[in-house]
Structure 1
Amino acid sequence: MNILKFSLRNVCVVLPIAILFFQACNKPVILDREAGEEETVISLKKKKVLVIALDGVVGASVEEMNLPTINKMQENSVSSFYGLIDTISNAGTTWADLLTGTRLNKHNVKTENFSAGNFTQYPSFLKRLKDQNNQIRSIAITTLPLLATGVFGTEVEKHIHLADKDQAAKDSAVNRLKTDDLDLLLVDFSIANREGKTYGFGTSVSQYRQALQTIDDYIDELVYTVEHRDAYANEDWLIVVTSTHGGKPDGTYGGNGPLDRNVFSLYYNPDQKKTVVPRPLFNIPYDGNFIRFNVQNGAQLHAYVNNPAYNFGTSQNFTVEMRIKSDNTTSDDPPLISNKNWASGGNPGWLIFKQGNHTRINFATNVSGSRLDFNGPVFTDNKWHMVSVSFDRKGLISVYQDGILFHRAI
């Protein structure tokens, strides 16, 4: 039982030891609790918010750059480098996502034009704040040309648009933070988007790397200005840093690909305990290499490895995990992953295979009559899923679909 085989036609299979990929939680809980405290601290300070929006910043690139300001802020933040945005990732759709907190099926912005937006039924968070308290003072400072009109209305006290002038926008934001008693400031930087479209998105492009470093410097100055306000001791600031969309090395963006949709988000407050949201285990676009098995010349293809590491013996508990993507049903019983001779289900070993539209698990020892067969999860939706099967030598087999218990057999 020391040969591990992989085989399935028209199915993509990935082992988790080979790939780890993610979506971050898009609504983290911001805590007021210091590490080690038993009770929540209720702050009587005046709440204020700084939102820093970054156009065209790929989340994975931010992580790879190891930017000093963002690294320092992470110590008191909820953050993730692996957020996923809407299935359409152009600037219009993603800005509508950001402002309304909904997706394109609700706000209806599907192009880089806001004219079709359903902002009456799904208004921006700025309008919702103003409706709750008309005394709230908010200002928007933007650089993306798209934002000149059509998305900021009377809900902001002032919209300062400085098309493609990031440094001027930073300077304007700094001056506002120094002198103004505003409640919310939104500032947008589009330098990474411009450099990405011209030279390519990604850390392999020097111009894009420099754009990310410039943004990090801008953020450093903004945070410094906030924390040195004359009234800072009586204020409680939440600083949100988030990218709107990513992009590909060829300079394109806007599609459904993982690099187009990968964004970075950070929610910073000095009293926030460090919380990093990792990549999820399932249902995310897969970026990388995978094994795809097909029938060729009437024969099913398979991959195998003859490694003693996969010989678990007769007493060791073990768990087998894999990622699978399938869009079809099968007319026979092709194996997904196995360490046994599948000429007979009674042969010693274990097997996860496809039958019709679902997976199926088979297990047998060298003891006569020990064979066990039962159904696993259904996979025909052409999405990535995680399948985990845990074998307990006391006689318990547990099957998990995307981390949730699907079936347990004795």
Structure 2
Amino acid sequence: MKTKNMSCRYPIKQLAKASLLLAGVAMSTSVLAKTHSLLIAVDGLRGDGIENAHTPNLDNLISGNWANGYNTAFAHYAQTMKDAAPNSGPNHVGIMTGVTSNKSGVTGNNDVAGGNYAAYPHYLTLLEQANPSLNTAYLVTWSTDMQVANSADVKIDADDATNTQNAVDIINGTFTASNWQQGTNVDALFLFLDDVDGAGHACCFAASDNGYINEINDVDNQIGRILAAIKNRPNFDSEDWQIVLTSDHGGRGSSHGIHAADNYTIPFLVSSKTAKQGYLAGVPHNYDAAPTVLAHHGLAVPANMDGVVQGNLVRVVNDNGIKQDLKTYLPFDGNYLDASGNGLNAQVGGGTPNLQAGGKFGQYVKLNDDQEYLTLGKPTELDFGTDTNFTLMTWFRVSGDQAGDPVIVGNKNWASGANRGTLLLANEGNGDDFGINLASSGADRKDIDPIDYSFNGWWLLVATFDRNGVATMYAGSPTGELNIIAGDIANVGDINSELNWNIGQDGTGNYTYNLKADLDDFAVWRRALSLDEVRTIYNKGQGTELNTLLNNVQNRYLTQQSNIQVGQDLSLVITTEVNGETCGLEWDNNRFFNERNAKWDCTGNADPMTFTVTGITNDGNKLIADGYLVANGNKGAFEWDSSKHANERNAKFDENSSGDLISIWLLNDSNQTRIVTEASGQTCGLEWDASKLSNERNAKWDCTPNMDTFRIELL
């Protein structure tokens, strides 16, 4: 963790600006008079930090709605420099000078003072050299940054809160210093904020860590104050502002400096009146910040800079819906057929994979034997060559450690990661981690990892490949955090292999370690999905089935709009979401006097049942279906127990009865179904128990009455 120095420094310029103007010294006409810039670098902000925090101000900025006439080009997959470890020293210098470590000479936190700033000056120095009348400010929160030579009019080393206030005062014109009179009009402002890095070091650079996320929330509030100050300037409508934001590194655990995607992946945004709206094309880097600001001020970017001007090129937007370029979609609902309409079906490649009820959506495929896998063969639609973008997607669940480093889907011989092809992996990099491997040869091999995962919940995995930019790995946890890492793949050549695309095995089908996992809703696109599309599919962990987005199913789940008839027998399973886990209603194997306890299995399994409809009522707010629920296989009818404890009754299956009458309350949202019954004159709602034992929870009737929400899926 870096320490802060609270000192302030106000250097006197070699020549007073007023004297230059009075003497009639010509200013560079290329540095525009009414342009203003704010460059913010947030130390330790991962590429997925903004995604998982509450950041209304940054969200408004990214969406292009922070001010009239402004657009924002953004990347959550931008990269740090690669010729130095992802630490603060070299990357701070890179952000300020536009060059990487090979040129600046700064390789760590201890050699910042010795940087080659004469050959590669700070961007504020270049602005001052081009037009000495510009008013420039340099605000940092790490004392080492004061060792970076620059010609800013004001240099301040203080903490985040103080420098946020300094930035607001400078923008408002209320800041004063020995050579900065009150009312001075700022032209270029540089601000480094450090506290996010401190929160990461305190515990974890992770979307799941409250301390880290809360600090990002605080930074958003600080940036919101600064943006409000800019908009409140009396001449803001006639001014031409540019906002640039980036970071120096990501992190893993409580540290950084590791040469890996979770340390490299950072955000980059540029907002201005000339920027394009959308996601940045290519491979943005944090050292693009300096040339981007210089270009905004009308200054030619020095040819020796490694960074490039960002904001003018964005990715092409898909306006044709999720079906565009979808090549295969396997919902695993009773078969391995392609539901995209393209006929790209899967087949059993080995063993006896098992289709089971209680998946993330409908049924799922379970791979749990050393020889079990599926194959898509080698269709031309899945040849991506040297320049075709593509996406791999599935929902993934395991209940324990993987053996070795098995493949989720891939088409290469995994005997070596240097072999030609692509892999999405279940145990890559750090143990129980998701990752990507691709290569055309050993010379361009790329490993993009790791994202650590937990057990017993459904994870959304999406790997997008922009062949002119980055491969991005999205891993949505069961509890709502969307983890994102990325890596540069622009120089990867032909990735077509001569092997099959296999699910649960490498392209040979003979890799030592077979995948042992549950998979659902598998799909491949011949384009790179956008973050917005991934968000729609992930739906904060609740998920949206592709069949729903494709309008493939009208009555898959019971809702208020379902066409239910009295006398109808509905074959179904009942599931609920509990703390990010999918839990299915089941009967217990143990039987006492012809009765079995009802339980919720939170590995996602659910027993098939039949609901016989005896009555229908539509009160406008909901559709109420009355009837009897019976477990298939003669395992009993659903009942409430005659014993009551603290307003609660056990739920059970009785083999010697027709069951108790229950009412299913259906709304338009299939996930908001409630199940109730009348027990000895009381209304009781079906619930899951707060206690969990061996991945199971008791099913009960709460006669307070409270009730949980469920989803009923038709089989």
TM-score tier by shorter-chain length is 0.5 to 0.7
1:265-280 aligned at under 5 Å gives the runs: 265-270=268-273, 272-277=275-280
In the superposition, relative to structure 1, how do residues 379 and 150 fare at CA in structure 2: closer, same or farther (>3 Å)? same
Note the alpha carbon deviations across 1:320-346, whole angstroms, 9 max, x for none. 4599xxxxxxxxxxxx977xxxxxxxx
1:240-319 aligned at under 5 Å gives the runs: 240-249=244-253, 251-270=254-273, 272-277=275-280, 307=374, 310=376, 317-319=380-382
Q: Give the superposed CA RMSD.
A: 3.7
Measure, in 1, the Cα distance between the counterparts of 2:410 and 2:273: 48
Measure, in 2, the Cα distance between the counterparts of 1:174 and 1:99: 21
Measure, in 2, the Cα distance between the counterparts of 1:125 and 1:219: 22
**Which TM-score applies when normalising by structure 1?**
0.61
Map of 2:200 onto structure 1: 196
Kept in 1, the 8 Å contact 2:440–2:492? The answer is no
In the superposition, relative to structure 1, how do residues 382 and 403 fare at CA in structure 2: closer, same or farther (>3 Å)? closer
What secondary structure sits across from 1:224 in the alignment?
helix
Deviation at 1:232, TM superposition (A): 1.0
What secondary structure sits across from 2:442 in the alignment?
coil
Map of 1:28 onto structure 2: none
What secondary structure sits across from 1:188 in the alignment?
strand
Deviation at 1:62, TM superposition (A): 1.8
In the superposition, relative to structure 1, how do residues 306 and 158 fare at CA in structure 2: closer, same or farther (>3 Å)? closer
Note the alpha carbon deviations across 1:54-113, whole angstroms, 9 max, x for none. 111111222222521111111221111111102311111111111111111110101113
In the superposition, relative to structure 1, how do residues 82 and 378 fare at CA in structure 2: closer, same or farther (>3 Å)? closer
1:5-404 aligned at under 5 Å gives the runs: 46-65=34-53, 67-75=55-63, 76-87=71-82, 88-113=85-110, 114-147=112-145, 149-153=146-150, 155-162=151-158, 165-179=159-173, 180-249=184-253, 251-270=254-273, 272-277=275-280, 307=374, 310=376, 317-320=380-383, 379-381=441-443, 383-384=445-446
Deviation at 1:136, TM superposition (A): 1.8
In the superposition, relative to structure 1, how do residues 304 and 107 fare at CA in structure 2: closer, same or farther (>3 Å)? farther
Kept in 1, the 8 Å contact 2:41–2:246? The answer is yes
In the superposition, relative to structure 1, how do residues 210 and 152 fare at CA in structure 2: closer, same or farther (>3 Å)? farther
Measure, in 2, the Cα distance between the counterparts of 1:146 and 1:259: 25
Deviation at 1:384, TM superposition (A): 1.4
Amino acid at match of 1:384: K
Higher relative CO (CA 8 A, sep ≥ 6), structure 1 or 2?
Answer: 1
Amino acid at match of 1:160: I
Map of 1:18 onto structure 2: none
Number of paired residues?
284
Deviation at 1:234, TM superposition (A): 2.1
Measure, in 2, the Cα distance between the counterparts of 1:337 and 1:253: 30
In the superposition, relative to structure 1, how do residues 382 and 172 fare at CA in structure 2: closer, same or farther (>3 Å)? same
Deviation at 1:273, TM superposition (A): 3.4
Please, which runs of 5 or more residues in structure 1 have no aligned partner? 1-43, 281-302, 324-335, 339-350, 361-376, 389-399
Deviation at 1:317, TM superposition (A): 4.7
Amino acid at match of 1:159: K
Measure, in 2, the Cα distance between the counterparts of 1:387 and 1:48: 33
Deviation at 1:381, TM superposition (A): 2.7
Please, which runs of 5 or more residues in structure 2 have no aligned partner? 1-31, 64-70, 174-183, 284-369, 387-408, 422-438, 448-464, 468-488, 497-715
Note the alpha carbon deviations across 1:190-235, whole angstroms, 9 max, x for none. 1101111122211211111110000001111111110110121221
Deviation at 1:239, TM superposition (A): 0.7
Kept in 2, the 8 Å contact 1:55–1:190? The answer is yes
Kept in 1, the 8 Å contact 2:74–2:268? The answer is yes
Amino acid at match of 1:200: C
In the superposition, relative to structure 1, how do residues 158 and 359 fare at CA in structure 2: closer, same or farther (>3 Å)? closer
In the superposition, relative to structure 1, how do residues 247 and 378 fare at CA in structure 2: closer, same or farther (>3 Å)? closer
Greater percentage in helix: 1
Deviation at 1:405, TM superposition (A): 6.6
Deviation at 1:354, TM superposition (A): 9.7
Measure, in 2, the Cα distance between the counterparts of 1:74 and 1:401: 25
Note the alpha carbon deviations across 1:124-173, whole angstroms, 9 max, x for none. 211222222222221011112322x31143x10010111xx211111111
**Which TM-score applies when normalising by structure 2?**
0.36
What secondary structure sits across from 1:52 in the alignment?
strand
Measure, in 2, the Cα distance between the counterparts of 1:387 and 1:68: 28
Deviation at 1:277, TM superposition (A): 2.9
Measure, in 2, the Cα distance between the counterparts of 1:387 and 1:266: 19
Map of 2:604 onto structure 1: none
Larger Rg: 2
